[in-house]
Structure 1
Amino acid sequence: MLTERLAVACLRVFLVLLFALLVVFQTLSIPGQFEHMARTNPEGAAQRWPLTILGVLLVLCAQVVVVATWKLLTLVSQDRIFTDAALRWVDAIVWAIGACWLLVSGFFTWVVLRADDPGGPMLFLLVTLGVTVVGLLMVVMRALLRKATALRTDLDSVI
């Protein structure tokens, strides 16, 4: 039990740090990077705003996952992880990963159609496959949580 509490406490610290870093990326780094790219490469300036919006939305997806993970940790510490409340937060994670997958897949398609060398498409293929695997893994984890919740409910009714 002590190990679980320590792990939850450490994870909370890192989630706060991750969220803070994501806010910095969302508000300063991503817009600043694409503004700099538009200034140094005027022929690509038209891509500044679409890429900025894409970057900000991807970070927003990550922020949703961080917040939902925080909420799940709260449920774990309250021994309420096998409840419908937990399923709602896992659903939020699945939807955020699904939105991320749509954004990354769309960008992957855009990169493939414009690419003149295989480096960019290969990189975004790797990212797209990674997001796909994480999304499908979360769907499986959600199914396991549903089954465990049903078993816990059955066990509670017997006791």
Structure 2
Amino acid sequence: MFEKRVVAPLRVFLALLFAVLIFFQTVSLPGQFAHMAREAPEGAYLRWPATIVTIFWVLCVQAVIVATWKLLTLVQKDRIFTPASMVWVDVILWAFGAGWVTLTGVFLYVGFNAEDPGLPLLLFLATTGVTVLTLLITVLRALLRQATTLRTDMEAVI
């Protein structure tokens, strides 16, 4: 089946992405914001809020990776259309929702304080993208719930 050929490479790239994100959380992001605070002391007060928010966003992505890994396990075991899958889809939705709330807050803060429209426009694009993805996942969750119900009903008949 097609899923079997896709699951293994997807797991490799999910693991790679997770490892890279750990590096970003622990080294790259804190170091980048420390460097920016040294280079531009007038914005140094944003060092810790920016570090915390970006690390939180990375944590949200990591939650999505873990939930996707668990869903792949359910696909391999042919258990994707069970209530267990809904838990992991909910984790993905909560991660997207938490990321969206903080992204919207950052967008509003930057939008009201920016002198240049570049960053607010970029944040607007990101906020719109996360909104679309969250709504798409919500629709896919509803489809999964319907398919799970149908499968349960079919198994009861058979």
- TM-score when scaled to structure 2? 0.99
The structural deviation recorded for 1:43 is 1.1
Amino acid in structure 2 at the alignment position of 1:58: W
User: What residue number does 1:59 align with?
Assistant: 58
Map of 2:142 onto structure 1: 143
1:60-94 Cα offsets, whole Å, 9 max, x none, are 00000000000000000000000111000000000
1:120 Cα deviation after fit: 1.0
* Amino acid paired to 1:108: F
What is the distance in 2 between the residues matched to 1:18 and 1:93? 16
The CA distance in 1 between the partners of 2:3 and 2:67, in whole Å, is 18
Stretches of structure 2 lacking an aligned partner (at least 5 in a row): none
% identical aligned pairs? 61
Instruction: Tell me the distance in 1 between the aligned counterparts of 2:132 and 2:27.
Output: 30
Does the residue aligned with 1:26 lie in a helix, a strand or coil?
helix
Post-superposition, which runs of at least 4 consecutive aligned residues in structure 1 deviate over 4 A?
Answer: none
Q: Which residue of 2 aligns with 1:103?
A: 102
**1:74 aligned residue:** 73
Deviations 1:1-44, CA, capped at 9 Å, x for gaps? 1x321100010000000000110111111100000001111111
Task: Count how many residue pairs are aligned between Structure 1 and Structure 2.
Answer: 158
1:78-117 Cα offsets, whole Å, 9 max, x none, are 0000011100000000000000000100000011011112
Give the Cα separation in 2 of the matches to 1:143 and 1:63. Answer: 23
Deviation, 1:52, is 0.2
Alpha-carbon distance between aligned partners in 1 of 2:14 and 2:48, rounded to the nearest angstrom: 29
What letter matches 2:62 in structure 1? Q
The equivalent residue for 2:157 is 158
Q: Give, as a single letter, the amino acid of the residue that structure 1 aligns with 2:146.
A: K
Q: Distance in 1 between matches of 2:52 and 2:119?
A: 19
